[in-house]
């Protein structure tokens, strides 16, 4: 870039013709990322001096004026941590909220939640508006929002800290709480096969949740250890809701050879299976064994008490919040001493050997 030429008279004038200069133009000409330009605009100390000078020179040359709303999105932080979620299980959501509150306690931060629908046309614009409006200090994302790379990219461009909770690792360790769902589903399969069940059904969650696929794969792993495979006739796709569990179970129990055991992909659906069994006059577990996943508080409050795979959901929320606030507390998030999240089977009264 020339120091003594009149930029307005150059034939190679880099300024865009006929439109407003954008941060993308600055990044392209300065040969840096948009995030770096954003950091320079907002006086972040994390930019090297040479890079800062180059970006500032381009900004001055092009007469770029930052958009105040975009600037707020990047750095004018509030004392709010956001939880962005698309999860149909209200019990899961409440437990996750409680865990995040545990994790931010004493940090000066408060929690604000944003329910959303990933399938909606305005999903991303609504998430961005939420981050802008609340000027979030950080975001915790449970499944399935945590699995959406578009949201992650939006937060990265905004330089907004985040932590993802997911069944497998999708990011750097300091940005992840990994729940290892596949291991837990394998335990459920081993349990039912070990009781002697052979006609075993699986009610999966939605395709849009990575956990649905991980739990299905884990269940197949556990059956294979007992020389069994999941018959496609005994597979149903549902929505992680009580109502969808009822509907899927009604379909399974109406078969000529109905299953003697059903593994539901979460507790909400498993309790729906219980309801469907009662509607047909079946005894649980004598006529039908049922296993769920999550071990929500209601699992030990229904009758019979539900055998289920325990995920420590409240602890998961706390761990995510602790990672998110580590830097604020002067702690390197990579040095947090957090245990691995390992699902475990909790055997209660809803599972037993099949009749005969």
The mean of the pLDDT values for the chain is: 89
Per-residue H/E/C for the chain: CCCCCCHHHCCCCCCCCCCCCCHHHHHHHHCCCHHHHHHHHCCCCCCCHHHHHHHHHHHHHHCCCCCHHHHHHHCCCCCEEEEEECCCCHHHHHHHHHHHHHHHCCCCCEEEEEECCCCCCCHHHHHHHHHHHHCCCEEEECCCHHHCHHHHHHHHHCCCCEEEEECCCCCCHHHEEECCHHHHHHHHHHHHHHCCCCCEEEEECCCCCHHHHHHHHHHHHHHHCCCCCCCHHHEEECCCCHHHHHHHHHHHHCCCCCCCEEEECCHHHHHHHHHHHHHCCCCCCCCCEEEEEECCHHHHCCCCCCEEEECCHHHHHHHHHHHHHCHHHCCCHHHCCCCCCCCEEECCCCCCCCCC
Q: What is the CA radius of gyration of the chain?
A: 26
Residues of the chain with pLDDT under 50: 1-11, 68-75
235 phi/psi in degrees, rounded to 5: -110, 130
pLDDT the model gives residue 75: 45
pLDDT the model gives residue 138: 93
pLDDT the model gives residue 14: 58
pLDDT the model gives residue 17: 60
Inter-axis angle of helices 267-279 and 242-253, nearest 10 = 50
Contact 278, 268 (CB under 8 A): no
pLDDT the model gives residue 11: 47
pTM above 0.85, yes or no: no
Residue among 115, 119, 173, 163 at smallest CA distance from 137: 163
pLDDT the model gives residue 45: 58
112 phi/psi in degrees, rounded to 5: -130, 135
All domains of the chain in start order, with CATH: 7-66 (1.10.260.40), 74-180+314-335 (3.40.50.2300), 181-311 (3.40.50.2300)
Residue among 312, 318, 287 at smallest CA distance from 297: 312
Each residue's pLDDT tens digit, 9-47:
344 555 566 567 888 889 999 999 988 888 787 656 568
pLDDT the model gives residue 5: 38
pLDDT the model gives residue 353: 98
pLDDT the model gives residue 24: 87
Each residue's pLDDT tens digit, 168-208:
999 999 999 999 999 999 999 999 999 999 999 999 999 99
pLDDT the model gives residue 15: 59
Two tokens, residue 233: 């006739």
């Amino acid at each position: 870039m020339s120091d003594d030429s009149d930029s307005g008279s150059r034939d190679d004038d880099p300024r865009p013709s006929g439109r407003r200069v954008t941060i993308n133009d600055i990044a392209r000409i300065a040969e840096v990322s948009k995030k770096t330009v954003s950091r320079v605009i907002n006086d972040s100390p994390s930019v090297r001096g040479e890079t800062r000078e180059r970006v500032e020179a381009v900004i001055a040359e092009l007469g770029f004026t930052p958009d105040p709303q975009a600037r707020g999105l990047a750095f004018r932080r509030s004392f709010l941590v956001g939880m962005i979620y698309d999860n149909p299980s209200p019990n899961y959501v409440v437990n996750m909220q409680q865990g995040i509150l545990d994790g931010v306690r004493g940090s000066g931060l408060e929690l604000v939640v944003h329910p959303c629908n990933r399938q909606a046309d305005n999903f991303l614009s609504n998430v961005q508006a939420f981050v802008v409006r609340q000027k979030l200090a950080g975001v915790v994302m449970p499944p399935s929002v945590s699995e959406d790379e578009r949201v992650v990219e939006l937060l990265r461009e905004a330089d907004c800290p985040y932590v993802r909770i997911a069944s497998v690792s999708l990011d750097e360790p300091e940005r992840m709480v990994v729940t290892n769902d596949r291991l837990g589903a394998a335990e459920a399969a081993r349990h039912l096969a070990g009781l002697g069940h052979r006609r075993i059904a699986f009610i999966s969650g939605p395709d849009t949740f990575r956990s649905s696929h991980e739990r299905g794969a884990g269940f197949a792993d556990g059956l294979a250890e007992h020389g069994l495979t999941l018959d496609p006739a005994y597979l149903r796709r549902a929505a992680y809701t009580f109502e969808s569990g009822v509907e899927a179970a009604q379909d399974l129990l109406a078969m000529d050879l109905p299953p003697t055991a059903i593994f539901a992909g979460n507790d909400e659906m498993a309790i729906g299976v219980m309801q469907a069994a009662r509607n047909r006059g079946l005894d649980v577990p004598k006529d039908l064994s049922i296993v769920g996943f999550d071990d929500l508080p209601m699992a030990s409050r229904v009758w019979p008490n539900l055998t289920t795979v325990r995920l420590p959901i409240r602890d998961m929320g706390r761990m995510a919040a602790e990672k998110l606030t580590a830097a604020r507390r002067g702690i390197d998030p990579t040095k947090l001493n957090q245990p691995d999240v390992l699902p475990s089977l909790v055997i209660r009264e809803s599972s037993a050997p099949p009749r005969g």
